Every structure is written in structure tokens, then in C-alpha cells.
Structure 1
Amino acid sequence: MVPGADEATQQFLEEINKWTTQHGVSPLSWNAAVKFLMARKFDVYRAIELFHSYRDTRLKEGIVKLKPHEEPLRSELLSGKFIILNVRDPSGASIALFTAKLHQPNKTLQHVVLQALFYLLDQAIESFETQRNGLVFIYDMAGSAYTNFEYDLSKKILHLLKGAFPARLKKVFIVGAPVWFRFPYSVLSLILKEKLRERVQMVKTHELKQHLPRDCLPEHLGGAMKLDHSSWNKQFLTSPNGRTNSLDELITGFPRDEVSIHVPGLEGMTVEELLDHVNTVQKRGIYEEYEDIRRETPPGTFNCSLQPYNQQKNRYGDVLCLDQTRVKLKSLNHDERTDYINASFMDGYKQKNAYIGTQGPLEKTYNDFWRMVWEQHVLVIVMTTRIDESGRKKCGQYWPLDQNTRGNYGLISVKSLAVESFKHYNKTTLEIQNVESHERRQVIHFQYLSWPDYGVPSSATALIDFRSAVRQQQGLSIQSLGNRWKGHPGGPPIVVHCSAGIGRTGTLCTLDICLSQLEDVGTLNIYQTVRRMRTQRAFSIQTPDQYYFCYTAIIEHAQRKNLLSAHH
């Protein structure tokens, strides 16, 4: 063990077990903690980040309870597609081999392949020697065809090895890559962090012997080992239950749908730490942080947004909503083509579906917009754009502007009861009525006026005060419902939109989540918040400026409220 390893493990466990207690997960054992720390050379903060990344990846990919004796995982393990060799390289590292030609994407689901990968890697790192000396990964593409290749799966495997598994990755050898792999590889290498890029090497089959001794390699890769794929992994399936993995305890007991809710994590920063972080990495470092997030591919599909009959309902052809989080309208006359609106549920601080992020309504989608407001019991709408900006139409006039006027939008009739103008925003009280049931409800519409498109507000203070006014209104509206509201105490979703529903919308929601956490526990994490948000409303926060603004706005707010200690 390295000097100070015990203290580091103690510190790591204290932090992690605060989190496990909060989430009702069994506490982490000392041995499991050591795995994460060894993988990050006993850097406690990096090990904590790895722990959360490991947990999030397992939850996101559905790798929750691994049952190696049950199908389909058993067949996947016995296919020999992925094996841990029973020899080590000269440095003592474990050698893992993935044989691409054995993978048939049309027969095996990605998450089953990833389950097998996790299961076998977990077994490999049970060994202290592997924890200490790391892992060499051979991606064997020899003899594989294009039909064996899944770009998305390769990306997930690399992501897993690079930052979501507690093993030190020494080298990745991509062996015998066919000519067609050049292009996917050039795209893949773009998403790799520099440190990992140096460790990934493409080699011809006969060149592998220059990197690893022959007795570490199977015959078909120029080595001396006889390999029988079908019997190889049976060793892991001999015990009646498979060996239980000491890391499974982290995953069990954590509800699947909780993963996207913003809760205080161990990576939270105090405002002092946030200020130090910005001073250390400077604007350029924050821009690079955003670049990191921007490179991540959204974890889902856009099939519904891309249907020909729905494309005209999108304000911008390249701003689509993920199928997994889209707001589904109730279909009209059982026609499923009527359930689409370019709007996504987004989680808030300790609240599922706290917001609906959506585009500025188009004339042809006014009826859909109001139907959504009605169906989701929305009390507050927040608009962060003007109708026209720089001579361009940014949003339709989807509500009656003048007091005591009415607009009819399909099933919903909307009347403007009162309009109040403030320095940076207008607030309109609307009464909406369902024409079929004649039921009436009150909705408050806020329009923020001091935010240039693509740019950032000149005054963070004005925007944060606006956010407080919105929050206060949501509270009052929930109160006025009394016991008619049975849902989350935070109330129904707040609709937030700009023009595309990602830039200013994402920025405002980020500030709201981070400030809510700051008010609650005194910490926040902008990077994690934005990453998580983009898994729900893809591409939220459109520019590095908007991302940087989230940092400066919170610092400005902290200075105004005297939240920073004197030496800052």
C-alpha cells in the first residue's frame, strides 16, 4: 500500500458512506473502497468521481443485478466474446480480450454485452494484483465484418474503460482493424481524452508480439496459448450463484428512475471552492469543461421528432427531443400522430419532472402547447425570449397579449386577466378553460425581456431575482390549490422555453437547480448539473458563454449575498 493509503481510504469511505446512508444503499466495504482508490492512485477526489461514474453507468445501462446463471447473461458469458486471459503481461497487468467477430448486433442487446463485460471485469479486479498493476485491453477485430461492428457499443466500452470502471487501464490494442474501421476510429478517437488517446493503439495482428510476449497471447494473434472460447468463462460459472461481486452492493436498493434527479453529490463545491476553481482554470478552462460535455452523445434516440409528420412541428430541424424524456400528449381520436410536441421533461433539484423544457410555440403548435399545459396541470410558464429579436421571429404570440382579451386554441380557451410590467420582465395572469369540461384554471405567464439570443444577460442579478419571482409564484400557486394538489410538494412542472428550448432554457434551469442546492446544503456542481440535464433535454446550454455565465452568475450572487468569506 502507498503511504497514507489508510488515511485516504478512511476519508473516501466517510464521504461515500454519507452518500450511501442518504440513499438507503448498503455501506461500502473497505476492500471495495481500495479498488476505487487504487484505480486513481489514491487521489480521494478522483476516486469519488470514479465511484459515481461507475454507479451512474451501471444504472444508465441497466446493469443492476448481475445473474450469471440466468439467460441472457449466461449465454453471453459462454459465447467467449469477452474473456479475461489466465496469464498476465510482464508488468503484472490482467489481459482482457474482446473478439469482435463473435458479436452479432442483431442477436444480442448492447446492455447484455455490457453486463458480461462488467461481470468479468469485476471478477478480474477481485485480484489485488490486477488492482495494483491494471488492465490491458485487446479489441480483436481480425476477421470481423462490418455487420459485427456496433459504433455505439464500442463507444460505450471505451467510455467504461476510460472513466467508469475501477481498474487502471494501461493499454488498449485495436488489432487487425479492417479498412472500413478507419473512419469510425477517427470519430471515436475524437471523443477520447488525450490521456486515453495515448494509450489506444491500432496494430496489425503480426505486430502485437512486439508489445506483448508470445506466452501472453492466443495462437490466432501470434502467441502460444490455445484458446477454446466456449469453455473459457466456465470457471466463472462454477459456483452455484456465481461469485457475488462486492460492488453490486452499490447498485441494489437504488430506484432506477432516481438516477437523473439532481441530488447533492460528493462532487459538490462550496461557493468559495467554485470561485477558486474559476480563478484556477480561468475562462479558458471553463470553456474546455463545456467542450467536454458537448462532445458527449445524447443517451437516447430521436425517432419521434424525426417522423415526417412531426418534423413540421419542430421550430428548428436540428433541435429534437429524446424519445425517452419527451412529453407525450394524449392522442386525439386514437391517432398516435397527435401525441407529439417538441418538449422534454427535465428533473430539478430533488424533484422528478420539475420542468418541461420546450421550444417557442409555432402557430401550428399553439393548440398542442396549451393542451400540454392543461394535461400536465402547469401553473407557471416562463418565457426567456422576445417574439422578435434582431428582425427574426423567435417565438409565436401564443397567448392573448392585452388585458381582458381571449384566444381560442383548440380544446383550450385562454383569457388574459391582468398584465404587470417590471423592469426586466412582464407577468401576465391567465385563465385557461377546457372547452369540453368547462373547467377553469389559473396560469401565470412570465416573460423575461433582458436576455439577448445566443448571448448572456448583462446582469446576473436581474436574472436571479427573476428566478426568485418565478419560484415564489410557483409556491403561491401550489398553496392556492390546497389539498387539490396531491403530487410532489414542488408542484407540477414549470414550463420553460426560449426559441429552441435549449440555450436560455438550459441556462435558467441550471441556475435554478444549482441555487436550490446551494440554499439547501451549501454546495453545488455546475458541470454535473449540465451533464445530467443534457441526458433529458439534449444539447441544453448551447454555447460556452452560457455555461461560463452559470459560474459567474452564481459568484455574483454569492458576493451580493455575502456568502463568500472575507479573504475571497
Structure 2
Amino acid sequence: HSAGLVSEPTAVKFLMARKFDVSRAIDLFQAYKNTRIKEGIFNINPDEEPLRSELLSGKFTVLPGRDAKGAALALFTARLHRPDITTHKAVLQAIIYQLDKAIESVQTQRDGLIFIYDMTNSSYGNFDYELCVKILNLLKGAFPARLKCVFIVSSPLWFRAPFAVLRLFVREKLRERVCTVKAHELANHIPVSSLPEHLGGTSQYSHPSSQCPPPSSSWGPEDEDPCMEVSVHMPEQGGMTVHELVEHVKRKKKKGIYQEYEEIRKEPPSGTFDYSKKLSNQIKNRYSDVLCLDQSRVRLCQLCDDDDETSDYINASFMDGYKRSNAYIATQGPLPKTFVDFWRMVWEQMVLIIVMTTRVVERGRVKCGQYWPLEEGRTEQHGYFLVRNTHIQVFQDFKLSHLELYNTQTGERREVCHYLYVSWPDFGVPKSASAMLDFREHVLQRQEAAVQSLDPSWTGPPGGPPVVVHCSAGIGRTGTFCTLDICLSRLEDIGTVDVRQTVRRMRTQRAFSIQTWDQYYFCYMAVIEYAQRHGKLTILPISKPPFI
């Protein structure tokens, strides 16, 4: 599947957490990856601040002992948490770092995890409701460890109201295993030899000396990290040089390239579409036959509890770029009923660039909803987002709208660049790739500039957050744009391209990408035209290629 190429040990962790149900394991992996992307947690270096201080604080720790059935014990000490001097990112980094180490144990993978939230001697100032929700969301469905139960120790009276709400964030079958206990009662559930003394146990455990890594340690890309999986489009042997590509097209002619595309088109999708087919989600699909593969779909943060089957769904798919995981989000043209979901996705994935390759109306048919303010200076509200068009630049083949996205819930503002490509003909494909090549170059430069302007705390992939690309269905022109970008990036890197394999692999992440054979042929000719423009072909290899 296309959820990412990971090592065998990593795959086994996620499979064991879901009892070797491959589909559920892929969903779990995607949820884990999305959580880390959303929180900006990529490389984790325990030597760097503020993570090192979080680890040394002992706020969160995995105890060395286990319960009677072998489950690992994770302890969060609420009185050590100071929301005013730390961040959710730092706390979650510390938790993920320690849990990643804990599940290296096969026993922990098999027997699961118990979470102890110790509120002894804590005050209301130590309580962080949003952080609690994030931790529960991580443990219940975004981390490869089976959450057996949650013990809340010595909860004060004021905690009753938030506790009633927090219980909604765990699955119904687990709610009966989320319980409040007094410190001395914990020994009725967990062996005293596994509990620290302040919780009625006999363990002499000391967090900093046994759990925090030494100053010389570091954990980065060279270590196993399931969030940093490689792209499906990597440098490899095979492919064609541009001269070989020209000879390939000359030899096969249009008919042969068409047959090549037909072979790809006949390949069955490499996954399932269960979420897209749910009755509650069908109304969010623009076209009934253009659905999202379950393993690569973009998951929105749920607005309600797990009983809400619609709040995490959007018809959008993560797609890898050349040597970049999740370089793009390929999606349909938003419907009026999905405008809010679209902007939620843009916000949650920290998107900087939106590439739109269709007009709102073509040939008298609505291809996409008007989801952004069309006029300069205008502001529109979509759910809890205010979208303001601050400036419009008009070019020969596209328009660039500079948007300000304001989250009324958090008070944060972000800048998003919206590209509208207007030179794709109503019928077929362009006669020349020149305009599309210029457009791609402009998008790449803008993405690079936007990434450089990110907050210094950005520790994500060098290429930045994913670029949202859409047309009407999110497979035709969208697939064409992404295929070109991948092929040309590879050409510049290692001097070869493989259009056929690029499209085949792309379709494992966004099914049916490249919708027609002339779009497929256009990709071949665009690579050749690019090579001519950049001096990689000294003569015109094909005289006036007949595009259609």
C-alpha cells in the first residue's frame, strides 16, 4: 500500500497494535503520521530545548514495571505541568519520544499500555484541557500501542465537569475502563512493586536518572522514525534519458503511447474506498465515481466524538513527490457544503500554496465552488475561519491571490497563496506545455519563499507543508501537474524520467490520476519541451508534435 515505505520493525509495531488487520494498521499509521505533521513534530532531538527540559522534568514517564498482565505503565504527573511556560508541541514531543522507545519492546507491543494521570497535589492552574484531549487522541487512535485503560488519580472536585467531557474522547468500549481512583486504591489494580512510592508502591524509580537520555545522545533521521518514511518516487535505476524518451515516443507514436496508458488504466485500484462510500460521506464527494483510497486519504481532526462519521472526511489524498513524502494533497474542487472542511484541511496541514487548475465554470458547467474571496479586499467566513483576499496579481496564464486565513478559535493568522491557472483549454490539453512549465516554476519559487518565511520553530521537511492541488475531480489536470513536477524534478536530479512508473505509483495514492490518454501523452511531450528549453536537447526531436 502507499501509506509509506517503512522498515519491517515499524510495520510490525502498527500491525500488532491492530491485531494484524492490514487496513486498520494502515489507518493507524496514517493517523500517527498526521498527528505528528499537525503538531509540527518531525525530527526529535532530546538534546535540544525545550524538549530536554520536558524530559528532565519527569512530567511524563514510562515506568520500568508492568501490570499483572504485562502492560507497560505510562505516568503523567499533572502538578509538574505548567501550561504558562511550555507548549503542547514540547510536551507531545516528550511523550512520543518516550513512547517510541517503550514500544521497541515486543512485550509492550503485545500487552499494551496503561495510562496513569496523576492529579495528586495539582491545582486548576496545572490542568490543560486541550492537551489532555490531544494526549487521549494520540493514545486511543494515533499510536501503535494498545491502550488498555486510563486511571485518573486523586482528582479534585472541580475535575468532574471536564472529566465528563473527556470521557467522550475515548471509544465507547473503553469508557468503562476510564476511571478515577484515589492514590491508595491504585494498588488494587497495579502491583505495588511497579508503582512509585507516592502512589502507594515500593519502586524506587527516579525518572531523570533512568529515563532521560545522556547529553551526547541524539535521535534524528538516521534512527528509525516511522513518520519520516521515504517517497514512492525515489532515485532508482531504469527510466529514460531525454534522448531515449524522444526515441521511445518516435517509435511508439501516439497509438503506442495510448496503448501504454490503456495498460495503466486497466490496472485495478490498489486499495479500498470504504470511507468515501459511507452514506454519511457520499454527499461530500463531487463525483460518485471519484473516491479516496482509504490508506492515503487526508483525515481531518474530528469535531465531535467517534460516533460522528463525517467530521474527519474530505475527498482529498496525500500524494508523494520526488523524494518527498506527502508533497501534495490532491483534492476535488470544493463543494459549497465542503468549503469549511477544505479550509480546515488547509489549516490543519499548514498549507502555504493552493494550485487550482480549473475555472469555476467551464462550458457552462460548474467545475468548482467559489470557495475563496474573488475580489481584492473582500473577506468571507467559512465556519470558524475568516478568509480575506489581500492582493491579486494577474499574469498571462494564471492569477495569484494572496489570502489571509484567520482562525477565530485561536486568534492565529496565516498567509496562503492561491494560484488559479486559466490557460487550460475547455477541450483536450494545451497545444504547448510552455505556459504550464512557467506556471510550475512560479509555484515552486513561491513555495520555497513561503517555507523560508516560516517561523524558525518549523522543523518539518525542507520542502515545507504539502501543496494542495485540485481541478474539478482532483485526478485529471491535478494528476498531470503532479506528474510533470515529479518527472522534471527527477530529470534535474539524476537525468532520467519514467512517466509510466510515475503515473502508476501516483495512482496507488490517488486512484485514477491522469484521467485521459491525451493527458498522459501531454506529460511525455511536456518533458521533451522542458528539455529543449533547458538545453538538454540540442535539436528539435519531433517536428510540431500533434497534441490533441
Calculate the TM-score normalised by the size of structure 1. 0.55
Deviation at 1:275, TM superposition (A): 0.6
Where do 1:228-247 residues align within 5 Å? none
Checking the alignment, whether the CA contact within 8 Å between 2:389 and 2:403 is kept in structure 1 is yes
Partner of 1:558 in structure 2?
Answer: 531
Partner of 1:368 in structure 2?
Answer: 341
Secondary structure class of the residue paired with 1:396: coil
Partner of 2:441 in structure 1?
Answer: 468
Q: Deviations over 1:316-375 (max 9, x none)?
A: 000000010000000102234210000000000100000000000000000000000000
Q: CA separation in 2, counterparts of 1:432 and 1:414?
A: 5
Does 1:394 find its partner at 2:335?
Answer: no
Q: Tell me: higher relative CO, structure 1 or 2? Use CA pairs within 8 A at least 6 residues apart.
A: 2
Q: Name the structure where helix makes up a greater proportion of residues.
A: 1
Partner of 1:274 in structure 2?
Answer: 245
Checking the alignment, whether the CA contact within 8 Å between 1:454 and 1:503 is kept in structure 2 is no
Secondary structure class of the residue paired with 2:532: helix
Partner of 2:154 in structure 1?
Answer: none
Partner of 2:235 in structure 1?
Answer: 264
Q: Deviations over 1:539-562 (max 9, x none)?
A: 000000000000011111211222
Where do 1:4-83 residues align within 5 Å? none
Letter paired with 1:315: R
Checking the alignment, whether the CA contact within 8 Å between 2:355 and 2:418 is kept in structure 1 is yes
Checking the alignment, whether the CA contact within 8 Å between 1:385 and 1:453 is kept in structure 2 is no
Partner of 2:321 in structure 1?
Answer: 348
Checking the alignment, whether the CA contact within 8 Å between 1:429 and 1:444 is kept in structure 2 is yes
Where do 1:73-152 residues align within 5 Å? none
Distance 1:259 1:476, change over 3 A: closer
Identity of aligned residues (%): 59
Where do 1:409-558 residues align within 5 Å? 409-453=382-426, 455-558=428-531
Q: Deviations over 1:233-278 (max 9, x none)?
A: xxxxxxxxxxxxxxxxxxxx99898465211221221111111111
Secondary structure class of the residue paired with 1:327: strand
Deviation at 1:383, TM superposition (A): 0.1
Deviation at 1:566, TM superposition (A): 4.9
Q: CA separation in 2, counterparts of 1:63 and 1:520?
A: 25
Partner of 1:289 in structure 2?
Answer: 260
Calculate the TM-score normalised by the size of structure 2. 0.57
Q: Alignment partner for residue 380 of structure 2, among 386, 407, 429?
A: 407
Secondary structure class of the residue paired with 1:372: helix
Partner of 1:146 in structure 2?
Answer: none
Q: Deviations over 1:444-472 (max 9, x none)?
A: 00000011356212330110100000000
Q: CA separation in 2, counterparts of 1:259 and 1:484?
A: 23
Deviation at 1:482, TM superposition (A): 4.4
Q: Deviations over 1:199-237 (max 9, x none)?
A: xxxxxxxxxxxxxxxxxxxxxxxxxxxxxxxxxxxxxxx
Deviation at 1:521, TM superposition (A): 1.6
Distance 1:348 1:550, change over 3 A: same
Q: Deviations over 1:275-310 (max 9, x none)?
A: 111111111111111111111111111000001111
Task: Give every structure 1 segment of 4 or more consecutive aligned residues whose post-TM-superposition deviation is greater than 3 Å.
Answer: 62-65, 108-111, 253-260, 565-568
Letter paired with 2:287: Y
Does 1:298 find its partner at 2:269?
Answer: yes
Checking the alignment, whether the CA contact within 8 Å between 1:268 and 1:524 is kept in structure 2 is yes
Letter paired with 1:310: N
Q: CA separation in 1, counterparts of 2:511 and 2:532?
A: 32
Secondary structure class of the residue paired with 1:282: helix
Partner of 1:312 in structure 2?
Answer: 283
Partner of 1:42 in structure 2?
Answer: none
Partner of 2:86 in structure 1?
Answer: none
Partner of 2:294 in structure 1?
Answer: 323
Distance 1:255 1:528, change over 3 A: farther
Q: CA separation in 2, counterparts of 1:110 and 1:492?
A: 27
Q: CA separation in 2, counterparts of 1:442 and 1:266?
A: 40
Cα RMSD over matched residues? 2.6
Checking the alignment, whether the CA contact within 8 Å between 1:507 and 1:541 is kept in structure 2 is yes
Checking the alignment, whether the CA contact within 8 Å between 1:363 and 1:398 is kept in structure 2 is yes
Q: CA separation in 2, counterparts of 1:553 and 1:272?
A: 14
Q: Alignment partner for residue 383 of structure 1, among 349, 356, 359?
A: 356
Checking the alignment, whether the CA contact within 8 Å between 2:451 and 2:464 is kept in structure 1 is yes
Which ranges in structure 2 are unaligned for 5 or more consecutive residues? 10-15, 24-223, 542-548
